[in-house]
Structure 1
Amino acid sequence: MPAALKRSNVHTLLYALRSMASAAGELRFADRKPMRIKDIARAAGCDEKDCRDRLEAAIRAGVVRAGERRRGRSALYAIVPTPAPDWAAAVAYLDGVKEAREEARQKRGADRKAAPWAKNEDEENGGRTPELEDGENGGPPPELTDGTAGEERGTAPRTRTGDRPPNGSGDRPPNNPGGYPRGSQDRAGVGFQPQVVGPPGDQSESHEPDPDDHTTWRVCPGCDRRIMPDPQRPDRRVHARCEPHLAADRERHSA
């Protein structure tokens, strides 16, 4: 058998046919019904299209015989002992099938490119989009002026995602932390609450320590290091290892 037929797995199909054939070489089930192409393809480990091509190549070589082929009925295939198979005819048939399918594929690709709904090459895969004329279908925004004749004309800036629009008539004034809000004369009845200014340590000590913020942890007076908050002892202010030293210092000072 030529190498081209082995690459096409024709020999695998012949092995499967020989294992399923009866003593007379026919491919029948136990109920005498002919095996279908689907059954033969499953046994040979290929799809139905490749199975048909390989069966036809085997028929051209003279090692397989096909019975009467009628629409709606399965043909009866049988293995034929042949002393000198015509492998060249089988190779020529498979090469012709391959070339015909390649030409059909190229023709489909050419028809697809020539279709009126096909895109241009520069527009495929995220290419350029057609440019719209000014003022048509959402073109550039109109130029804004303040009414003077000799001014320099320009376009209004586009608002981006997350930008804050400029203040206009009726807009909400910006927040001024620590300052007097606008329109305070209209709200004279509302008193201004000054902020309490003090050392950062005093403010941090007035709140409970936050386990996720080490800057709020208490400072141990024995080693000047911060104390990790303990849910079991929320009021702890001294490290356990520093308590004996602090107790000794207090005894010395008291003496």
Structure 2
Amino acid sequence: MSNEEQDTRASGSVPNAFGNALAWKWTRSMPPALRRSGLPTLLYALRAMANAAGQLRFSDGRPIRIQDLAKAACADEKDTRRYLDAAEHAGVLVVVGERRRGRPNLYALVMSPRPDWGAALAHLDATKRTRSGRKSAPWADEQGPKFGGRSPELADPKFGGPPPELTDGTENEVRGTAPRWSSGDRPPLSSGDRPPNNPGTSQGTSQDGAEVIFQPQVVGSAAPEIDHQDEPRADPPPSDFIRCARCRKPMLPRPGRTTHAHCPELRLVDPATDHDTGEAG
């Protein structure tokens, strides 16, 4: 580190006092729009590049070029010139000697007690550059009915041609007549339509000779409902059962017995009178 660089960081040097005033006073009194600009960054860069006397020159005495100041401030040369002029209007920067066209000017830091930041902001607003916007699409120049112009036209008609022009439905509009349909004609299929369902016809395909047969289908008819709640049916008796001779209910086969032991139709017969007693068995 050279002696000149050590003097720059000394407590009594101009860059040191300039940096303290910029960090603790000036930036806090600047208008918000001026703080958001590139002027504070340029002032910090000037403070770091100035010598102990506050002049922006190299050790050999040559002034620091505008290109070097722009790189240190992270700005382009045009904006750097605007910021330097704004600093002069505020009273914190001055040009030593007279301005010479084609040669770099020698700038020096100034410790102003009350910088005029309003004048600096007015200069930046007066010299503000307008950014060129994006070039609009060719079809956007013609104002369309609603959403920013016409749609782009296709140059090659091989892929469908230009999109159809929509009319506003005026009375002078010439409407074309649709061709008459002859016997057996079918309407054209649009996007999403299903092919016609003709019973008994088949349509062949070119892939492996496969044929697709369209089954007749009634449009709008409801599918037949299946009633799963059928009436309960009595289970058939097992094959090793027989039926009672009176009540016809299944019973286990036993030798010499054709009725249930507790059959409701069974009547006890009195062997003396050979008549029913009227009591159930």
TM-score where L is the length of structure 2:
0.39
Over alpha carbons, which structure has the higher Rg? 2
Q: Which has the higher strand share?
A: 2
More helix by share: 1
TM-score, normalisation: structure 1: 0.42
